[in-house]
Structures are given as structure tokens and as C-alpha cells.
Amino acid sequence: MELNITCIPGDGIGPEIVREAKKVLDKVAQLYGHEIKYKDILMGGASIDVHGVPLTEEAVADAKAADAVLMGSIGGDTTTSPWYQLPPNLRPEAGLLGIRKALNLFANLRPAVLYEELAGACPLKEEISSRGFDMLIMRELTGGLYFGERKTVEENGVRKAIDTLTYDENEIRRIAVKGFDIARKRRKKVTSVDKANVLDSSRLWRAVVEEVAKDYPDVTLEHMLVDNCAMQLVKDPAQFDVILTENMFGDILSDEASMVTGSIGMLSSASLNDTKFGLYEPSHGSAPDIAGKNIANPIATILSAAMMLRYSFDLDKEADAVEAAVKKVLKEGYRTVDIMSEGCEKVSCSKMGDLLVEKLHK
């Protein structure tokens, strides 16, 4: 199979972690008989330095021409970098917002996995963390409160702010279909999270999700109110497989889920459109304070590449092999500095990539 991948190394530690992900992808291609064609493009601060803008039309065209996009990280130190003296529409993060819009990336996927070897970093009680968990939060990314009409007015001398939460049934249906499709690749359970006891938008959300569920008789559907879900994430995270929810709820719940894993350096993410196309990136930032020191943790980016294999190319065996290599390296006690613990062997960013390549087998 030919895989055409556009890479955005980005800023800070981005080039280092993307380099290691490419190493792993190249080993996958060698083992399974695939051909990978990469094209690197500039975005964020790196693009500002060369082109004066965080995202060019040419970069967007290159991304659209690919089968998938693999990204490192975007941005720099907001207090010292000259990038943040620019108007907001010319700062690095504007490039990320721009490419999401240009590529119509409406579905955000953030896995939260507690590896047995890293259970000690989990802030939950041992009786909870010992059971482990492996969930995926599917967040609608382009609708809801963040994209509704908003205004601030003054009425009778009192300032009043108005934000509008709207969803139509087509927006809900397309994210629900993505959620159920991905549940079929996992443990076949969807927890749809809403606030249907209060909000009309949530009542429509629940109705449309139930309509979609009829096409997936092999997937179990349950509904959960968002406040209860927030509690259940710290009480019994092992119960969840795919959490399907709207934009603001997903923003909050995915951050909560990432914290109960104990290590953001391990967390991958993906943003998908209505085809197989997706943009894959680690959940962490650009870490400019450690850029160029070869100490960053590349695992989140490598796991993002595994998500790319699974969701954009339907290469489930290859994705499983990458994830198995990560588990093996952790089990053997190798750690980058951010996840280092007593009795383990500290390794560099590039060494971690080499170890994962070494452990990768069919």
C-alpha cells in the first residue's frame, strides 16, 4: 500500500518527535510491505519565520493532497517569543485553527490510556488505577457554543454577555457515525454524554445518536449526563470505551481524562473529516524550554502515528504492532525523563525511537 503523508514538524520539540515517529513508520512499512511518501511543510512559528504568516495557501494545498497529516507541535514561549508580539491572526496557533477549518476536521479523538507500567503516576486511588483503563473521547470540534453567535451588550446600565449554543441534526449525525465506526474497532461500546435534562441541544443530540445507533446493532449505547460523566471519570474510568460528546463538554472531559493518566507525554490525538483523512498530533505542547536537547518524549507522537495507520489507512495490524512495541519498551523499564521513575533506565528522545523500532515485530 502507498501512504502519502504530509508532515508538519512545527515548533519547539516538534521536529524531534516527528523524526522519531517517521523512524517507526518506516519500520512498519518495511515489515508489512508498504511504501511511504513524506512531504514536510511549515506551519506555526516555523512558517512565520520564513513566510511571515503561520499557514500559507501552499501548505494547505499540500495537506489536502495527502492521505493524512502527521504534526509535531505548534507555538513557543508566549512571554519571550517575538511570535506573540504579532496580532492574534498571525500567531502560531492561528495556523492550527486555519488548517483545521481548511481540512473540515470536525471530529477530535483523544485516547486516554493508563499503562500498567505507569500506574504509579496516576493520581487516583490504587484500587481504581490498578484496574487500568483505555478510553477514547470523541469530541465534536466545529460546532456548539464555541462557534455560535456571541455578543456583549448593555441593558439598563448592566453589561450582559450572550453566547449561543446551536447544533443541527447533520452535525450531530456525522460525529455520531464516526463514534460508532471507531467503537467497532475497539470494544463496541459508546457512552453518549449530554445535558438532556436541561438543554434542547442535548435533547436533539440524544435523539439523533439513538437514530444512528440503530445502524450499529453490535455496538452498545448508553447515555450519561455530563456532570455524572465527570464524576465517573475519577470514580470508575475503566467502564468507558468511546465517549461521544459535543464541543464544550468534550473540551473539558478530555482534559480531565488526560490528567487521570498521569502523563500527558503519552497521549495521542487525531482530528478527522468526513472521509478517511485526518490530522494526527500529540496532545502535549511544543515545550520550547527543552527543544533541541533530545530529551522529549516521542511516544505520544508515535501513538498518534499508530492512530493514523488505524483510522486513515485501516491498517489495524500495523497499528497494533506499534502499540505493542510501546508496551514492551515500557515493560522493559525504558523511560524518557518526563516519565522516569526509580529502577528504570532513562533514555533520550532518539534512543526511545530506536528502541521502539527494535521492538516492532509482525
CB atoms within 10 A of CB 10: 27
- List 286's β-bridge partners, or say none: none
Please identify every residue annotated as catalytic.
Answer: 146, 195, 227, 251, 255
Q: What is the 3-state secondary structure (H, E, C) of 110-157?
A: EEEEECHHHHHHCCCCHHHHCCCEEEEEEEECCCHHHHCCEEEEEECC
Burial 49-65 (b: 16+ CB within 10 A, else e): eeeebbbbeebbebbee
On whether the CB atoms of residues 70 and 41 are closer than 8 A, the answer is no
Cα 297 to Cα 299: distance, rounded to the nearest angstrom: 6
Burial class (CB in 10 A: 0-12, 13-18, 19+), 79: exposed
- List 152's β-bridge partners, or say none: 161
On whether the CB atoms of residues 160 and 173 are closer than 8 A, the answer is no
Cβ neighbours of residue 208 under 8 Å, at least 6 residues apart? 169, 172, 173, 176
Question: Which grid coordinates belong to 24?
Answer: 517507526
Burial class (CB in 10 A: 0-12, 13-18, 19+), 106: buried
Phi, psi of 318 (to 5 degrees): -65, -40
The DSSP code for 344 is: S
Cα 90 to Cα 48: distance, rounded to the nearest angstrom: 8
Cα 59 versus chain centre, distance: 21
Cα 95 to Cα 239: distance, rounded to the nearest angstrom: 37
* Total count of residues recorded for the chain: 362
